[in-house]
Amino acid sequence: MTLVEPSDFPVAWPSPDAAELLWEHDAMHNPEQLLPLEQSFATLSMTDGFVRAARTYELPIEAVRTLFVRGWPYQATVPTSADPIELDAQASRAHQRLVAEFPGLGVLWSKQVLPEVEAELAMIGAPLACLDGTALADRFADATARFVRIWELHFLVVLPAYTVLSEFDELYRELFEEATSLDSLQLLIGQPNLTTILAEELWALAHRASPQVRDVLVDRPTAKVEAALDGVDGAASFRADLAAFLDRWGERIDMWDRISLPTWQEAPEVVIGQLRDLVLTPNDQSPSASMTRARKIAEEETTAARAKLAGYPAEVRALFEERLWQARTATVVTEDHGHFIDFGTLPRLRRLALTAGGILARTGSIDLPDDVFHLDLATVVDNLRAPGDARVVVRTSRRELAAGATQVPPPTLGKMPQHRPAYSVSRYQSKFFGEAPPSANDGGELRGFPGSPGRATGTARIISSLTDADRLAPGDVLVCTTAAPSWTSLFSTVAAVVTDTGGPLSHCAVVARELGIPAVVGTQHASTSISDGQRIEVHGNTGVVYLR
């Protein structure tokens, strides 16, 4: 069955068999177009990194392919077999392999994966001064190999981690037939992880500032804050505080795969913009106050679950406790890994890319250093070794991206397969990535999935980046395609969150639950159906957004 190809979204298939695959656009991780160099690394993380981990767990995945249509990323999975029975059988075996990892997951992350990731990151991020084109080309080759290994490690730990969460949720709902996924996941909240710790540190940065500095943060537009601090009481210690914060947390880029975007260190206005709203938010909504409340909820729900299970067989109670403990470990792992892997690799690759851009601009291969992002990895490396003229390539890339910039990429392209295995990875994927919402959206309401319980009403702001988030005022409702982990601090100040993408296990839902704000995820259309400035009512428990 061929999927509809919108007439304004032509696809140049790289080969005839490519058109036979199911290609999906992962708007949750890639809500925007990717530039060619970004495409190269995004591709490697999946075609090489992911596939190696998939093989380790014996998943029925032969290969992953990527396709970029005017910058819009698509991905297709090639299964190991065309036979549905064989696929399901292999998927079951893979499930057992993943379940076998559950008990040792915490150790796998902290003692095996994380140390190796940090070592690889250190090598990728080693100093780049005084390298000529050839030496830098060698560094790229080295960095690429390490990058692939880091992403293999990513999936080695993330695949079982998300499977644990999915299994716990399913066990809970088997045991308590009336329960929803929100109910089960409430037992897991309240554990500090790097996402919530980042939010707390940002909060602390805002609240440690002197009253005068805080006034500047609140009153001045973000771009004018730096200059306005001169001579203000407490400015020196605030600047020192900010510098220390950026030292610790500033090596980050705010969206997956986007090495062409500046880091927080390079563009601290992004941090300053978040501080304003934090200053205006009362203490009882601080991340640590929210986490304390979350911990209490988790304890109460756990006690209630244990009481209901008191008359159940010992084996059932033991299974519940085991999965609960494993799921709590997994929750921390699913948040922490991103800070090191998903986002830790990006600034280091960016530095490599900018250094290469400098060299290529000097040799005349490209006009400006920043043009380097418009070349794919092979072209960069080739031109470093043997300078050529890549300016046409840059111009073509810019043109393609401009053509794609006004388009809305269809969620899928190609052909729907006859059979998709119902195995655990795809079950957790649909909880993570979301599925089509339960029923069609109609005029007055928008349906998605429950992400975090509670109800709130507020003014909707359609936000596409942290810089854009400057427009948010405390009490607004954040509406976006996706919310990356670095957007966490916004969750302390908004009344609710609504997203296009994701399911109950997505980062947005997880963080919303930790910080105790209502969230509806996976609506598919919120960012285009809701108007900026519109009053909306968010019902987290039912997954419905009412539009006024």
Please report, for residues 256, 436, 447, the alpha-carbon distance to residue 443 in angstroms, rounded to integers and kept in the order given: 33, 18, 11
- By C-beta, is 267 or 319 nearer to another protein? 319
Among 5, 170, 226, 537, binds another protein (CB under 8 A): 170
What region does 524 belong to: left with phi over 0, alpha with psi -120 to 50, or beta?
Answer: left
Q: How far is the CB of 81 from another protein (least distance, A)?
A: 24
Q: State the nearest-atom distance from the C-beta of 174 to another protein, in Å.
A: 5
In this structure, are residues 217 and 279 in contact, taking their beta carbons and an 8 Å threshold?
Answer: yes
Q: Judged by CB, which is closer to another protein: 311, or 444?
A: 311
Q: Is 315 in the site for another protein (CB under 8 A)?
A: yes
Does residue 313 belong to the site contacting another protein (CB under 8 A)?
yes
Q: How far is the CB of 327 from another protein (least distance, A)?
A: 14
Find the binder of another protein among 85, 310, 392, 440 (CB under 8 A).
310
Residue 435, interface with another protein (CB under 8 A)?
no
To another protein, the closest distance from the beta carbon of 312 in angstroms equals 5
Concatenated DSSP letters of 325-367: HHHHHHHHHHHHHHHHTTTTHHHHHHHHHHHHHHHHHHHTSSS
> What amino acid occupies position 400?
E
Helix (H) or strand (E) holding 242: helix 235-249
Does 368 bind another protein (CB under 8 A)? Our answer is no
> Would you count residue 321 as binding another protein (CB under 8 A)?
no
C-alpha to C-alpha distance for 30 and 466, rounded to whole angstroms: 15
Asked whether the beta carbons of 520 and 294 are under 8 A apart, the reply is no
Contact between residue 38 and residue 259 where contact means Cβ atoms under 8 Å apart: yes
Total residues contacting another protein (rule CB under 8 A)?
14
Contact 60, 22 (CB under 8 A): no
Binding flag, residue 305, another protein (CB under 8 A): no
Residue 292 lies near another protein (rule: CB under 8 A): no
Nearer to another protein, 211 or 311 (CB): 311
Single out the residue of 85, 314, 392, 440 in contact with another protein (rule: CB under 8 A): 314
Tell me whether residue 280 or residue 309 sits nearer to another protein (CB atom). Answer: 309
* 178 belongs to the binding site for another protein (CB under 8 A): no
Closest approach of another protein to the CB of residue 319, in Å: 6
Question: What are the backbone angles phi and psi of residue 85, rounded to the nearest 5°?
Answer: -65, -45
Q: Is residue 132 a contact residue for another protein (CB under 8 A)?
A: no
Residue 543: both structure tokens together: 């997954």
End-to-end Cα spacing for the chain: 39
Residue from 62, 83, 174, 300 in contact with another protein (CB under 8 A): 174
Select from 35-43, 193-201, 260-268, 308-316 the region that touches another protein (CB under 8 A). 308-316
Joined together, the tokens standing for residue 160 give 């079982």
Q: Is 107 in the site for another protein (CB under 8 A)?
A: no
Residue 316 binds another protein, judged by CB under 8 A:
yes
Closest to another protein by CB, 91 vs 530, is 91
Q: Is 392 in the site for another protein (CB under 8 A)?
A: no
Q: Which of 22, 131, 218, 319 contacts another protein by CB under 8 A? A: 319
- To another protein, the closest distance from the beta carbon of 89 in angstroms equals 16
Q: Should residue 311 be labelled a site residue for another protein when binding is judged by CB under 8 A? A: yes
Half-sphere exposure of 395 (CA within 13 A, CB side): 6
- Provide the 3-class DSSP secondary structure of residue 126: coil
Stretch that binds another protein, among 3-11, 167-175, 376-384, 414-422 (CB under 8 A): 167-175
Q: Which stretch binds another protein (CB under 8 A): 24-32, 213-221, 310-318, 358-366?
A: 310-318
User: Looking at beta carbons only, is 50 or 172 nearer to another protein?
Assistant: 172
Identity of the residue, 185 or 509, whose beta carbon is nearer to another protein in the bound complex: 185
Count CB-CB contacts under 10 A for residue 443.
Answer: 7
Instruction: Give the H or E element holding residue 41.
Output: helix 36-44
Q: Which of 437, 433, 441 is nearest to 449 (CA)?
A: 437
Asked if 280 touches another protein (CB under 8 A), the answer is no
Would you list the DSSP string of 182-240?
A: HHHHGGG-----HHHHHHHHHHHHHHHS-HHHHHHHHHS-HHHHHHHTTT-TTHHHHHH
Quote the CA–CA distance of 189 and 511 in Å, as a whole number.
Answer: 9
Q: Which stretch binds another protein (CB under 8 A): 38-46, 57-65, 82-90, 305-313?
A: 305-313
Pick the stretch among 174-182, 210-218, 287-295, 429-437 that binds another protein (CB under 8 A).
174-182
- Please say whether the beta carbons of 486 and 508 come within 8 A: no
Which residue, among 457, 543, 512, has the nearest Cα to 185 in the 3D structure?
512
Nearest to another protein of 184, 506 (CB atom): 184
Told to check if 304 binds another protein by CB under 8 A, we report: no
422 binds another protein (CB under 8 A): no
Q: Does 171 engage in binding with another protein (CB under 8 A)?
A: yes
Side-by-side strand order, sheet with 449-452: 445-447, 544-547, 535-539, 455-462, 477-480, 496-499, 519-521, 449-452
Asked if residue 105 binds another protein (CB under 8 A), the reply is no
**Minimum distance from residue 310 beta carbon to another protein (Å):** 8
Q: Which of 312, 378, 422, 535 binds another protein (CB under 8 A)?
A: 312
DSSP bridge partners of 24: 75, 412
Interacting residues toward another protein by CB under 8 A: 170-171, 174-175, 177, 308, 310-316, 319
